[in-house]
A and B are shown apart, each in its own frame.
Chain A
Amino acid sequence: MQVPTTKSEALAYAKSEVLTSIGADPTVFEGRRKKAKVFRLGGEISPILYWTIAAFMFGLVLELWCFLSYTGRVSPLILPTPTGVLSSAIRLWQAGELWPDIKISVFRIVAGFLASAVLAIPLGILIGAYKGVEAAQEPLNGFIRYIPVPALIPLVMVAAGIGEGAKVLLIFLGTYFQMVLIVADVTRLVPRDLLNASRTLGAKPHQVLFNVLLPATLPGLMETCRTMIGWAWTYLVIAEVVATDSGLGYRIMKAQRFLRTDEIFVGIVILGLLGLLTDLAFKFLQPRLLPWAEEGRNG
């Protein structure tokens, strides 16, 4: 709850303080000035308006696509028509080629991402919590993280071959080092006073770690996972484009070899939809798993 700024707000606020019975909800002073919140810095808008704008933007992109493709302004070799892409998708689906690709790609993402999360989250928290661990890990990680993952592909293939392990390993390498550092930052951002308060309440060091620091990082960890899954998709496609005979990345590569732009688009659109779905899943889960977290910062 914010400290009230206007006189009427302050009065309502004080009243709610005095009347400490239930029902004296201090959030009553909303009212009036609702206009033009869409463009107010940091302003809130209703979910309906939010999704209307979102749908409108999707519609706009689709319309532009239709305009450019159906009118022949852009060659179908570069930009196929939406209906063309849709019929290709249906054809591939019925031929039973699409589903196995989706399955294997999702499996690789989940495996690579889980492996890196399981290792990066505990280590990141330790780095954020203890200077000694930070000194041992952070500079080293900072160095490795700037090595572009594609540069490691030859090495990975020599070490792990071209089997499933290699793909999962690439996704792991692409996300792990970033994730460690982001989790360390999330941990360091836990307010000092929260830890101090628990110490003055008699919490011992291990109790501060497990009962305060850990829960306090949860919203940030969830946000980190959301970001890192996005990265994982990128590395998945890199891995599948280079060396494999299955998955959505492979489908796109193969389509390119036969100049099937419509099939390339099928792959791209499915990747986009899966990404969107993961994002929506996080948006759905966040307020349900961590209802206590303050909203706003990341959305």
Chain B
Amino acid sequence: MNAVEASSTPILRVENVSKTYKGRKGDTLALEPTTFSIAQGEFVAIVGPSGCGKSTLLHIIGGLIEPSSGQMFLDGQEFFEAGAERGMVFQGYTLFPWLSVRENVKFGPRMQGLPLEEQESRASHFLNEVNLHGFHNHCPKQLSGGMRQRVAIARALANKPRILLMDEPFGALDAQTRAVMQDLVLGIRKREKTTALLITHDIDEAVYLADRIFVMTARPGRFKAEIVVPFGQDRTEAVRDTSEFFELRKQVSHLLHDEGRKVVEAELATARIREG
């Protein structure tokens, strides 16, 4: 593959992917047919009201849920199953509690049967990347929530995935910790040239980290707007104080609040119907 082709083939291509959950009380259309691409080195964020199908979409891309329709391609190759080339960080804590921090990070390379020295060097490298030098032999239950998510990020990166998928990774953390984690992700992205897809409900987080933001509608989820964030990968914390940041934030916020209101109104309407 030559350089021109490489830059024109997106890393991830999602085409008309939709999801209908079949249930006893009928079917739920969780995600309308959705199409988008992510290019090499791009950081894309998805924001949307709760229950609009963000997690569903990310789990489909991760190969953990089967889509009801559509196709997905990684580097032009269609995929169906979960795989190490699409690393994932979950909202809840998913470290293996019986493994030390270091063993957790080595898990992926070990499953792939990489040579032991390679496993070790990757563990050291990526634990450094997330600033956890002194914690290799700790066990997960000794760690705070923020530290656990750092390990989860290091663990996903240790496979050197083509794309890093993150489902509200800092949603359960307090504001201060979250800010620290965002700076950490920004640094990693710059050093590792990580391509990433981040789901978040935090508008600041989306604007601070992403190159592009997709705003989704209330359920059934659909991409309603795409906002380009022009700050580039060398942005620093100072960008948070610029008027551009403020404008983008306002723009996303307006788009999102309309949807949020729809969710609440829909809930009220169902409640009223139930009460008769």
Contacts and interface: CB of A to CB of B under 8 A. Distances in A.
Contact of A201 (B59, B97, B111): B111
Given A3-B174, A21-B134, A193-B90, A202 B144 contact: no
A195 to B, nearest CB: 9
Contacts, number: 112
Interface string A14-30: 10111011100010000
Contacts of A10: 174, 176
Given A3-B173, A21-B134, A201-B155, A215 B96 contact: yes
Contact of B141 (A3, A204, A294): A294
Interface in A205-225: 207, 211-212, 215-216, 218
Interface stretch (B20-28, B33-41, B78-86): B78-86
B172 interface: yes
Contacts of A20: 131-135, 147
B174 A13 contact: yes
Interface string A173-215: 0000000000000000001011011111111100100011001
Interface stretch (A54-62, A83-91, A111-119, A285-293): A285-293
Give the dominant DSSP class at A's interface. helix
A111 B274 CA distance: 58
B159 interface: yes
Contacts of A212: 96
A207 B90 contact: no
Given A3-B174, A202-B111, 10 more contacts: A14-B180, A16-B144, A20-B134, A26-B144, A191-B92, A196-B62, A197-B90, A201-B84, A201-B108, A292-B140
Contacts of A293: 97
B87 interface: yes
Contacts of B46: none
Nearest to A291: B139
B143 to A, nearest CB: 7
Interface in B108-130: 108, 111-112
A163 interface: no
A200 B98 contact: no
B239 to A, nearest CB: 20
B145 interface: yes
Interface residue range, chain A: 35 or more
Interface of A: 1, 3-4, 10-11, 13-14, 16-18, 20-22, 26, 191, 193-194, 196-204, 207, 211-212, 215-216, 218, 290-294
A221 to B, nearest CB: 13
Interface residues of B, number: 45
A1 B96 contact: no
A207 B96 CA distance: 14
B186 to A, nearest CB: 16
Of A14, A202, A212, A290, the most chain B CB neighbours within 10 A belong to A202
A70 B97 CA distance: 54
Interface string B3-40: 00000000000000000000000000000000000000
B94 interface: yes
A291 B139 CA distance: 9
Given A20-B134, A218-B98, A199 B174 contact: no
Interface string B56-86: 0001001110000000000000000011101
A1 B143 contact: yes
Contacts of A218: 98
A207 B176 CA distance: 38
B142 to A, nearest CB: 8
A200 B147 contact: no
A207 B94 CA distance: 17
Given A196-B64, A201-B156, A17 B108 contact: no
A198 B156 contact: no
B94 A191 contact: yes
Given A194-B96, A201-B87, A201-B156, A17 B64 contact: no
B177 interface: yes
B213 interface: no
Given A201-B111, A215-B96, A17 B146 contact: yes
A14 B94 contact: no
B169 to A, nearest CB: 12
A290 B98 contact: yes
30 contacts: A1-B144, A3-B173, A3-B174, A4-B174, A10-B176, A11-B176, A13-B177, A17-B147, A18-B180, A193-B94, A196-B62, A196-B88, A197-B88, A200-B62, A200-B84, A201-B107, A201-B108, A201-B111, A201-B156, A202-B83, A202-B108, A202-B112, A203-B107, A212-B96, A215-B98, A216-B96, A216-B97, A216-B98, A292-B141, A294-B97
Of A14, A200, A207, A290, the most chain B CB neighbours within 10 A belong to A200
A198 B90 CA distance: 11
Contacts of A207: 111
Given A16-B144, A17-B180, A202 B159 contact: yes
Contacts of B87: 200-201
Contacts of B84: 200-202
